[in-house]
Amino acid sequence: MPTESKKAETIVLHGGSYRADPATSAVAVPIYQTTSYQFNSTEHAGNLFALKELGNIYTRIMNPTQAVLEERIAALEGGAAALALASGQAASLIAVQNICHAGDNFVCSTDIYGGTWNLFQNTMATMGIECRFVDPADPDNFRRATDARTRCYYGETLPNPKLAVFPIGEVARIGRHLGVPLIMDNTACPVLCQPIRHGAAITLHSTTKYIGGHGTSIGGIIVDGGHFDWEKHADRFPMLNSPDPSYHGAVWTQAVKPLGPIAYILKARVTLLRDVGAAMSPFNAFMFIQGLETLALRMRQHCANASAVAEHLSRHPKVGRVIFPAMMDGEARRRADAYLKGGYGGLVGFELKGGRDAGGKFIDALKIFYHVANIGDARSLAIHPATTTHSQLTAEEQHKTGVTDGYVRLSIGIEHIDDIVGDLDQALR
């Protein structure tokens, strides 16, 4: 279905070319649980491998169930094409590695998920790729950290624990001027924000969170906006503009031209995904398609409940500070209003006056909230980042990402607000 003029609520159900299964007319998307696909002829097989036509070869590289998810999420994000992967971590790694070689660098916001920080700071350093962390409060920090070997910028739309919305348009503009694409992790705000519409070149998600929505499956996805001019900045992107020895000398910006503005994402699929093998299973793709169908509805409820929780906590005598985009002022509030539409997300942070001990006691006393290292579930979740998700960071790194001893992160679910507030109150007592 052409979705350009359609709203998110419609795209999540109808986005992309799938209408019914071509073999059986089934309306629900079938789980194509197959490793491989029979070629029509040797000529057909040759054309597929030569990328003269796109089609299924082997499920490590593509699969019809994944393809429906990819088309729907590409439409939702306003992008040209997408690539489903085994996890959000795989999406972050491949999104950067697709254009970064040993000896290159990229500039990343300090406000990112702890696991991404570790991947970029430590694991990617072992590959010779340098991550330069900068404070996104001043977008110009990205410009200052850029040199001739800078291949991309990276940020999170609504990073926890700070929950200060990233200056997407501001950093994208700096990047466009210098020929550096912005990659946005939009995990925390599907539907609420489309970073590509604000100038980001690439968006990615951990589909594990809101898109799945039910805490059942791990997955990730990268969306190519299709409007970054990789050829114009050929010096910066030799990996897309010079012969690639890993695919019989293909020059991606040229080889892919007849197929559309998808050089970046097609290269990621047929080289990195082919080699690394971090494929999303067809079953998980099916689960994410189910989750996607109610995503817009759930996001509305997550946002309404989170706003009510933030208000309630801000009046509670045991709470020192509430961190929520709608309660910020100045530039942080302006960015929240500029980039989030329809709500301020489902995450709420707060600091207990009693510090670390009070934080631990509070979490142990919760009855409805689950104590888990996850966000975006339909159920309400809580965690103490200093001792869990951010514990592998040094004290200084924790401080930079906004984690303090008494900080508690809530991922507000879609239960009735009275029951959510009731559980928080009894645990605070």
Q: Which of 1, 9, 14, 115 binds ligand PLP (CB under 6 A)?
A: 115
CB 257 within 8 A of CB 284: no
Q: How far apart are CA 78 and CA 158, in angstroms?
A: 19
Pairing of strands 105-109, 347-352: unpaired
Which DSSP helix (H) or strand (E) runs through 34? Answer: none
Which of 59, 65, 66, 208 binds ligand PLP (CB under 6 A)? It is 208
187 binds ligand PLP (CB under 6 A): yes
Segment lying near ligand PLP (by CB under 6 A), choices 71-79, 108-116, 232-240, 334-342: 108-116
Residues 234-263 that bind ligand PLP (CB under 6 A): none
Using CA atoms, how far apart are residues 110 and 419, in angstroms rounded to an integer?
35
Residue 242 DSSP symbol:
S
Q: How far is the CB of 116 from ligand PLP (least distance, A)?
A: 6
List the alpha helices (DSSP H) in 62-119: 64-77, 88-97, 114-118
Q: Could you give the string, one character per residue 63-102, with x where binding to ligand PLP holds by CB under 6 A and - elsewhere?
A: ------------------------xxx--x----------
| Planar angle of CA 208, 209, 213, nearest 5 degrees | 100
Cβ–Cβ < 8 Å for 288, 207:
yes
Selected binder of ligand PLP within 97, 194, 203, 206 (CB under 6 A) = 206
Binding status of residue 377 toward ligand PLP by CB under 6 A: no
Contact call for residue 111 and ligand PLP (CB under 6 A): no
- Here the tokens at position 27 are 């309306």
Among 130, 185, 224, 244, which residue interacts with ligand PLP (rule: CB under 6 A)?
185
Q: Please name the residue that has the structure tokens 């709420």.
A: 348
Peptide bond into 161 cis (omega under 30): yes
Task: Please identify which residue in 116, 253, 305, 398 interacts with ligand PLP, judged by CB under 6 A.
Answer: 116
As given in the structure block, the two tokens for residue 382 are: 């809580």
Binding flags for ligand PLP, 145-184, as an x/- string (CB under 6 A): -----------x----------------------------
Q: Which is nearer to ligand PLP, 156 or 377 (CB)?
A: 156
Torsion of CA 166, 167, 169, 173, to 10 degrees: -120
CA distances 198 to 16, 202, 229, Å, are 22, 11, 16
Looking at beta carbons only, is 93 or 262 nearer to ligand PLP?
A: 93
* Binding span for ligand PLP by CB under 6 A among 185-193, 241-249, 272-280, 321-329: 185-193
Q: Return the beta strands (E) in 211-296 as ranges.
A: 220-224
Shortest reach from residue 187's CB to ligand PLP, in Å: 4
Size of the site for ligand PLP (CB under 6 A): 16
Contacts to ligand PLP by CB under 6 A: 87-89, 92, 113, 115-116, 156, 185, 187-188, 206, 208, 218, 220, 375
